[in-house]
Amino acid sequence: DAKTTQPPSMDCAEGRAANLPCNHSTISGNEYVYWYRQIHSQGPQYIIHGLKNNETNEMASLIITEDRKSSTLILPHATLRDTAVYYCIVRVSSMYSGGGADGLTFGKGTHLIIQP
Amino acid sequence: SAVISQKPSRDICQRGTSLTIQCQVDSQVTMMFWYRQQPGQSLTLIATANQGSEATYESGFVIDKFPISRPNLTFSTLTVSNMSPEDSSIYLCSVRLAFYEQYFGPGTRLTVT
């Protein structure tokens, strides 16, 4: 799986958009970008994933650069409950992984703190 | 989606003893995973547990220390054997339902004294 680089921490004001960057310059053509978050004392939660097109769901938007070497997770209207560690993970979709060990490799993530 | 429960939610154990953690899922799943999260650290994959086959362990984790059972498609156990204070961590169970989504249990917080 390709390596990712994220800032260790970020602050964002409540109600504003939170933009979390992720660098993945060694990403391969068949690797997806996944985002998970871990709220304190809970298990990680899936947020969104994408291959090369921008994606949006009810939780967030994912913007992937044209060269796919970086991406940004956008929480459009951050609330205090969005305070968490956000993990950017790059990996081959399980559909293509041959059914082998498909566990996720977590980096250190970004600790996003939403300020009131 | 999947609802995952773990038992116990937390425990305090003495050095040299063993603890078995249970993971129950509300739907049948093929692939289950066990992770460890040491204090202040990120998650580390321990092993992959597929029903009907032996668990596959990641580098640094061995079956004698972390035996896993997977008797059916909704249940798994992880045993932490011969515990030492270094085993104090949160242990999380996870399942994969679709090609791109994994769901995680709430974790078991283990303290070894």
Cβ neighbours of A92 in B, within 8 Å: none
pLDDT-derived band at A1, boundaries 50, 70, 90: low
Q: Give me B58's structure tokens.
A: 């990641």
**Considering chain A, what is the average pLDDT of its residues?**
90
CB atoms B48 and A101 under 8 Å: yes
Measured distance CA(A108)–CA(A15) in Å, rounded = 26
Contact residues for B5 (Cβ-Cβ < 8 A; gap 6+): B23, B24, B105, B106
Which tens digit of pLDDT belongs to each residue from A3-35? 899 999 999 999 999 999 999 999 988 889 999
Instruction: At B20, list the tokens.
Output: 């078995």
Cα-based distances in Å from B112 to B13, B31, B45, B82 = 5, 29, 20, 10
Residue among A32, A44, A95 minimizing CB distance to B104: A44
Q: What does the pLDDT look like over B62-104, one tens digit per residue? A: 999 999 999 999 999 999 999 999 999 999 999 987 766 789 9
pLDDT recorded at residue A99: 43
- Using the predicted structure, report yes or no on whether residue B34 has a pLDDT greater than 70: yes
**B102 contacts chain A (CB < 8 A):** yes
Query: CB-based contacts of B54: which residues, under 8 Å, 6+ apart?
Result: none
Determine the pLDDT at residue A60: 97
**Is A45's CB within 8 Å of B104's CB?**
yes
Rounded to the nearest angstrom, the minimum Cα separation between B41 and chain A is: 7
Of A44, A37, A17, which Cα lies nearest the Cα of A83? A37
Q: What is the pLDDT of residue A93?
A: 64
Can you give the pLDDT at residue B30?
85
- Answer yes or no: do B43 and A106 touch at CB < 8 A: yes
Nearest-CB residue to A94 (from B35, B96, B106): B96
